[in-house]
Amino acid sequence: MPWPSFFPPPAVAELGNSGGFDFELVDHGGVGHAKLMEARNMLLGMAMADKRLTKIRPNGLEDVSQYRLDIDWAKAGALGVPITAINNTISEAFGSAYVNNFIQAGRVKRVFLQADAPYRMAPQDIDNLYVRNNAGKMVPFSAFSSSRWAYGSPRLERFNAFSSVNIWGEPAPGRSSGEAMKAMEEMVTKLPQGIGYEWTGLSYQERMASSQTGLLYTFSVIVIFLCVAALYESWPIPLANMLMLPLGIFGAAAATWFRGMSNDVYFQIGFLTTLGLTTKNAILIIQFARQRIEAGEGLIEATVGAARVRLRPVIMTSLAFFFGVLPLALATGAGAGAMKAIGTAVTGGMLSATFIDLFYIPLFFVLVSKAFKVKRRRARRVEGSASFEGNQS
């Protein structure tokens, strides 16, 4: 007898288990119950040997001995026995059926119909039953049925109308649920043809969310670019801000990796926050550099002057945000895992976006300005406005 598995109940009822993954092994090819159970045992064997997984267990009942009754519907139809009469006879004889109520000694009692105990104890007692046909005559069960012992599942398990087996498991210590789900998907490819898989519960929600990560990051970068373009009223200059994003991403990823954390949904939240904060320092410097250029300074002189003037505000705002988020990265107690993941990503991204970006923001701004000749455009605009004022005077 296998050892029992203990696990906490889910936070939301009927929405999978509280940790790990919720996996459905599905018979997509119609190979049958026996082949499906063989595939399940193969999968459990491979999963128990995989170091990325732990506590792998089937969430169901093992196959048991069953007594099957096979009805010859052609014979039953020839004898005039309806299907409902066959089903009702078995149900009433071996189960029970409510008939009506009767009053005895002032009390209402219910009447149930059922075969007497000595005549419903053995499977062979089915052959002693009779069914009334359409002509009103009694037909023995043995005239249109046969019985046999079989071995099968005591519970009908289906997933999207396919035969399935539910399997629960958890990632090994130090592994994420995404790694555990990927391991299960890799092992399913080694199973016989016709056996597939599906995710359900919280695992399905996690898979759906992870499939939208790329789209979410792309949309975030586009929104940042459009906001900066609207601020500068220019299309080329925001490219300098976009070139700073990898530096902030590097800090967030490096801090998370250094602390041994995984790429989970909380890290992704901090990751998106870092994308927005990374452009903040670039905006503070580039905005002043553009004002100096419009005032008539050269590109290099204006950029260096803006970096020097805005050094203190950049460090002040960055350190204020860094120390504000630092308690999350050092959190302990209940819910500390989520807070550590978010805090670590944001603090790491802010450090790199502050002390590394200070050297690359002026460089990228000068390169982009020279590549797209932003300086000449600004100079022409200043000259045009000056000549217009001269004509008015």
**Helix or strand or coil: residue 162?**
strand
What is the distance of C-alpha 224 from the center of its chain?
A: 26
Between the CA of residue 57 and those of 12, 158, 225, 249, 384, what are the distances in Å? 21, 18, 48, 38, 77
Question: pLDDT-derived band of residue 230, with 50, 70 and 90 as boundaries?
Answer: confident
Answer yes or no: are the C-beta atoms of 53 and 170 closer than 8 Å. Answer: yes
Q: What percent of the chain has pLDDT over 90?
A: 16
Cα–Cα distance measured from residue 382 to residue 135, given in angstroms and rounded to the nearest whole number = 107
Q: Looking at residue 390, what is its pLDDT?
A: 44
Cα–Cα distance measured from residue 138 to residue 132, given in angstroms and rounded to the nearest whole number = 4
Q: Looking at residue 132, what is its pLDDT?
A: 92
Question: pLDDT-derived band of residue 34, with 50, 70 and 90 as boundaries?
Answer: confident
Q: Looking at residue 310, what is its pLDDT?
A: 82
Alpha carbons within 13 angstroms on the beta-carbon side of residue 57 total 13
CATH superfamily, domain 21-62+171-209, is Multidrug efflux transporter AcrB pore domain (3.30.70.1440)
Mean pLDDT of 258-283: 80
Cα–Cα distance measured from residue 37 to residue 165, given in angstroms and rounded to the nearest whole number = 8
Residue 374 has pLDDT above 60, yes or no: no
Which has the higher per-residue pLDDT, 11 or 258? 258
Averaged pLDDT score across all residues of the chain: 82
Cα–Cα distance measured from residue 127 to residue 382, given in angstroms and rounded to the nearest whole number = 105
Cα–Cα distance measured from residue 351 to residue 329, given in angstroms and rounded to the nearest whole number = 13
Answer yes or no: are the C-beta atoms of 280 and 248 closer than 8 Å. Answer: no
Residue 7 has pLDDT above 80, yes or no: no
Residue 139 has pLDDT above 90, yes or no: yes
Residue 382 has pLDDT above 70, yes or no: no
213-392 — its CATH code?
1.20.1640.10
| pLDDT tens per residue across span 142-196 | 899 988 888 888 888 888 889 899 998 888 887 878 788 889 999 999 998 899 9
Find the range with the poorest average confidence among 33-42, 143-152, 202-211, 309-318. Answer: 202-211
The 3-state secondary structure of 273-327, one letter per residue: HHHHHHHHHHHHHHHHHHHHHHCCCCHHHHHHHHHHHCHHHHHHHHHHHHHHHHH
Q: Looking at residue 388, what is its pLDDT?
A: 36
* 213-392 matches 21-62+171-209 in CATH topology: no
Residue 15 has pLDDT above 80, yes or no: no
The residue to which tokens 């062979």 are assigned? 124
Question: pLDDT-derived band of residue 39, with 50, 70 and 90 as boundaries?
Answer: very high
Mean pLDDT of 20-35: 88
Q: Looking at residue 9, what is its pLDDT?
A: 59
Length of the chain: 393
Residue 293 has pLDDT above 90, yes or no: no
Got the DSSP string for 77-124? HHTT--HHHHHHHHIIIII-EEEEEEEETTEEEEEEE---GGGSSSGG
Between the CA of residue 73 and those of 62, 83, 142, what are the distances in Å? 31, 8, 13
Q: Looking at residue 393, what is its pLDDT?
A: 42
Q: Does domain 65-152 have CATH number 1.20.120.450?
A: no
**Helix or strand or coil: residue 248?**
helix
Residue 327 has pLDDT above 80, yes or no: yes
Cα–Cα distance measured from residue 97 to residue 95, given in angstroms and rounded to the nearest whole number = 7
Residue 38 has pLDDT above 80, yes or no: yes
Cα–Cα distance measured from residue 99 to residue 78, given in angstroms and rounded to the nearest whole number = 30
| pLDDT tens per residue across span 338-369 | 888 888 888 888 888 788 777 888 888 888 88
Question: What residue spans define the domains of the chain?
Answer: 21-62+171-209, 65-152, 213-392
Which has the higher per-residue pLDDT, 7 or 87? 87
Q: Looking at residue 328, what is its pLDDT?
A: 86
Between the CA of residue 165 and those of 25, 100, 171, 177, 391, what are the distances in Å? 5, 41, 20, 20, 85
Longest dimension (CA), the chain: 120
Which has the higher per-residue pLDDT, 166 or 336? 166
Question: pLDDT-derived band of residue 10, with 50, 70 and 90 as boundaries?
Answer: low
**Helix or strand or coil: residue 343?**
helix
Residue 387 has pLDDT above 60, yes or no: no
Mean pLDDT of 110-128: 88
The strand pairing partners of 69, in sequence order, are 147
Q: What percent of the chain has pLDDT over 70?
A: 89
First to last CA, the chain: 101
**Helix H or strand E encompassing 185:** helix 177-188
Find the range with the poorest average confidence among 6-20, 159-173, 200-214, 230-244. Answer: 6-20
